[in-house]
Every structure is written in C-alpha cells, then in structure tokens.
Amino acid sequence: MQTLKLNSTQQRWLGVGLLLGIIISVGALIIVPWLNDLSEINDEIDEQVFRIKRYQRVIASREEVLMDVEQGRKEINALGYFNTQASSSLATAELQNNIKAMAVDAGGELSSSQVLPNKEQNGLIRITVKVKLTGDMEMLRSLLYQIEIKKPLLIIENITVVPAPKKRNKKTRKVELTGNVVVSVEVSSYMRKQV
C-alpha cells in the first residue's frame, strides 16, 4: 500500500475540510433536530395564544350571556307556568288547596285527596296531587276546563272516570242510576329547583 504524502498547504486544506465536515455533521445531528423542536414549540405557543384569545372573547361576553339568561328567566316567570312558592311543601299545599277549590266550584263532591312524592326532573320539581271526587259529567267538563286555564300550569297525569255506584230507591226498592261519575285524577305542577 502506498502512502500519499501531502505538502503543508494540502494538509491545511484537508484539516479545514475535516473541520467543516465535523461541524456540518454536528449541525446535522444536533442543531437541525433542535431547530425542528424549536419550530414545533413555537407552533404550540401560537396555538395556545389563539386559544387564550378565544377564551378571553368568551369571558368578555360572559356578562352579556348572564344578562340574556336572567332576561329569559324573567320572561318565563312572567308567563306564570311555574309554581313560585318558596318550598316544595308550600307548593304542594297550594296545589292541593287549588284542586279542592276547583272540584267544589265545579260542583263535585271531594272524597279523598292524596299528595304523591315529588320528583326531580331536569332542574324542575314535579309536584303531584291525586284526588277522587264524585259528580256529573258537567262537573267533570268544568273541572277539566279550570285545570286547563289555571296558572301556574297544571298537567293531568292520570285520569280515571267510572260510573258512580247505583243507588237503591228506599220507597220502591229498585236500583236506580244516579247519572254521576267517580273521577280519580292526578294533577301535577312544576316549580324550579331552589339553588
């Protein structure tokens, strides 16, 4: 094998070439990945800045949204659809008294009244009263009409109408139809859950 002899100028150029090769290799192995990571970090920073600005816009509109929500609540309350009592117990008592009064006003004879357990649904409390009364068909029509137009909004959950029991005439001892019906009805009202 033959050795190549280089003069001093050639040795310098070879040294400079090797030094540049090492610098380029180190740059390719260390600096390029570092620059790529720095670019990714800058992209993430830009994305986070965009998110922060978006959140700032949302936060800035918070007061407006809260005012809209409050206005919506006022409008719904003005309609009178929900019971406005301070507690569900008071609302239940009011509903029970209203149903009794409507039954008597319609000409019915109230035989029983029962408060059913309250149920919570989507931030509302459903208050239900079950009543049983006797009267004629005109009484039933009048009662249903009163329930329909009453505020707060009343909803008939269940209704059962059966003919009243037959009565025996004391003089003739014959069974006679009374023309009355026995009505069993569950009426519900809603109130907002107190926070």
Residue-wise pLDDT tens digits, 121-132:
777 888 888 989
Q: What is the DSSP string of 76-110?
A: HHHHT-SB--SSHHHHHHHHHHHHHHHHHHTT-EE
Domain ranges of the chain: 8-60, 88-192
Angstrom distance (rounded) from CA 124 to CA 149: 21
Q: Which two tokens stand for residue 110?
A: 């109230």
Q: CA 37 to CA 33: how far, in whole Å?
A: 6
Q: How do the pLDDT tens digits run along the chain, 195 residues long?
A: 567 787 888 888 888 898 999 888 887 888 888 888 889 999 999 999 999 999 888 888 888 888 888 888 788 777 767 777 777 788 888 888 888 888 888 888 888 888 888 888 777 888 888 989 888 888 888 888 888 888 877 888 888 888 877 777 677 767 666 678 888 889 888 887 765
Give the architecture (CATH level 2) of 88-192: 2-Layer Sandwich (3.30)
